[in-house]
Amino acid sequence: MSASEQGNSYLDKVVAQQAVLEDDLKARRSPPPPPGAPGAVPAPGPLAKRDRALGAAPADRPGPGPVDVRISGFWRWKNVLVPPNAFVVHTRRGRDEPLHIGLGVSFRFNPSTDSFLVVPGATQTILINAYCICRELQGVLVQGYVQWIIQDFGTAYRKLDFGGDDPMRLVNLQLREQAEAAIKDKVATMGVRDVLSDKQPIIEELTARLRAVAEGEDNSDQGLGLRIVTVQIKEAVVSSSRLWENLQKPYRAEQGQIARLAELEAEEAVAQREMTAARVKETQRLEHERELAELRARNESQLFDTEAVEKLRRTRREHDDSREFAELQTETTRHALRMERERHEEEAETGRLRIERDHELARLRAEGELALADLRARSRHEQALLDLERDAARAALENERTPAAVQARLIGALPEIMAKLPKPDELRTVTVNGGDQTGVAGLVTQLAAVVGALRAATEGPGPAGK
């Protein structure tokens, strides 16, 4: 397959990338969902129909176009809320000048008399694909982009068409056409190599023409109220694949020649290094063999000397080992005797310590028993003293009792005494005259007489009675 049949793959990639970029820069707005789908706007009710008949718009409904404008209110009393990054112009019937104009201006709106226009204030990017013919009558694709912004909205909205769903579409289309025309005019005066190697003349020509159209020449009022932010050329590709390959062939051939010469130089250097390395290797091998022969001779002589010295050393070592073994046995016997003597001394010391410990335990046991007996004697003595003190205290209490207390105690004990006496068969009354009958002695005498009579009645008549 020839190069012309294969096509220009680089050109195809550039065009595809430009298409993807244009698609990414477009404002993506999802279409309204169908009725009944999740998120769909419900069917208008009676109130919605009334508002529509009166010219009222629902609150918080975005306005048309890419700018999110909210219109709220009822009938003639509406409010237009404009984002802060959008230009707006508000006109009214009968007024020559706009009521409001500027960036992010919100206002009251009467649908019957007012009209307004909202335009995005952000920087706009125009992608350019200019298919040009150069001085050699060869097709060249020049890709670039232009970024512009509204500088004077008061001039721009009068001279440019911002109508439709996309206010910037027509303006971008006009600027793109002008930019492509300027690029084609400039490329027509340049050669293919100049277009591919130096894009600065194209950028300067394009910038000058677009600024003259957008901003006016020498700050005059002939401009469109726009400002060109930047102009850049991204790619310049030859349309013909055969010409593209022919343009690349000299450089590729030069680079191939340089690469081949480098390979030859490298091969020559490698061959020279290989020969040098082989010669050095052979020389080293011969020297190595000679050194090995000398080393073997030295090793054999050293081995003989070493064997003789080793035999002499072994003989001496055997005599030394025999003498050391005898000394070691003697030292071992002495050590065993010394250990036996130390063991006997330790056993004697242990027996003496055991006897002393037994004597000390016996002494401590005797001292403990004596101390315990002493403690017991003291305890009995103290107990006896306590008993004596208690008896003395009791006798003192008995002696200190009054007759009235004794009488009360006897009266309290009468029920117990009567309960222990047997029941009498007859009652005898004994009257003792004389003496004080009201005193303690008289009371005791009377009680003794009563107790004696009761005892006599209980025991019955004696032998004399029989």
Q: What is the pLDDT along the chain (466 residues), one digit of tens a residue?
A: 333 445 566 567 667 766 766 665 564 444 444 433 333 333 344 334 434 433 333 333 333 456 778 888 888 888 888 888 888 888 888 888 888 888 888 888 888 888 888 888 888 888 888 888 888 888 888 888 888 888 888 888 888 878 777 778 888 888 888 888 888 888 888 888 878 887 888 888 888 888 888 887 765 567 788 888 888 888 888 877 777 666 667 767 777 888 888 888 888 889 899 999 999 999 998 999 999 999 998 888 888 888 888 888 888 888 888 888 888 888 888 888 989 889 898 888 888 898 988 888 888 888 888 888 888 888 888 888 888 888 888 877 777 767 777 777 777 777 777 777 666 666 565 555 555 555 556 666 777 777 777 666 655 554 444 3
What distance in Å separates the CA atoms of residue 226 and residue 153, rounded to the nearest whole number?
Answer: 8
Q: Is residue 145 part of a domain?
A: no
Asked if residue 252 belongs to a domain, the reply is: no
Domain membership of residue 161 (yes or no) is no
Say how far apart CA 246 and CA 225 lie, in whole Å.
47
Q: Give a yes or no: residue 448 inside a domain.
A: yes
> Which residue in 356, 255, 244, 334 sits closest to 9, CA to CA?
244
Does residue 95 form part of some domain? no
Q: What is the pLDDT of residue 174?
A: 84
Dmax over Cα atoms in the chain, in whole Å?
A: 192
Count other Cβ atoms within 10 Å, centred on residue 445. 15
Cβ-contact 121, 152 below 8 angstroms: no
The domain total for the chain is 1
| pLDDT at residue number 246 | 64
In the block, residue with structure tokens 């005066």: 189
225: alpha, beta or left? (left if phi > 0; alpha if psi -120 to 50): left
- Residue 417 sits in which domain range? 407-459
3-state SS assignment for residue 309: helix
What pLDDT was estimated at residue 425? 65
Amino acid 131: pLDDT = 85
- CA-CA-CA-CA torsion for 230, 231, 233, 234, nearest 10 degrees? 30
Tokens 């206010």 correspond to 167
Q: Is residue 70 part of a domain?
A: no
In a domain, 269, yes or no: no
Residue 455 has what pLDDT? 66
b/e map 394-405, b = 16+ CB within 10 Å: eeeeeeeeeeee
Instruction: Return the structure tokens found at 92.
Output: 């009214």
Quote the pLDDT of residue 21: 62
Model pLDDT, residue 107: 86
Does residue 89 lie within any of the structural domains? no
Q: Phi, psi (5° rounding) for residue 231?
A: -135, 125
What is the DSSP-derived secondary structure letter of residue 43? P
Q: In this structure, are strands 139-150 and 124-133 parallel, antiparallel, or unpaired?
A: antiparallel
- pLDDT score, position 430: 56
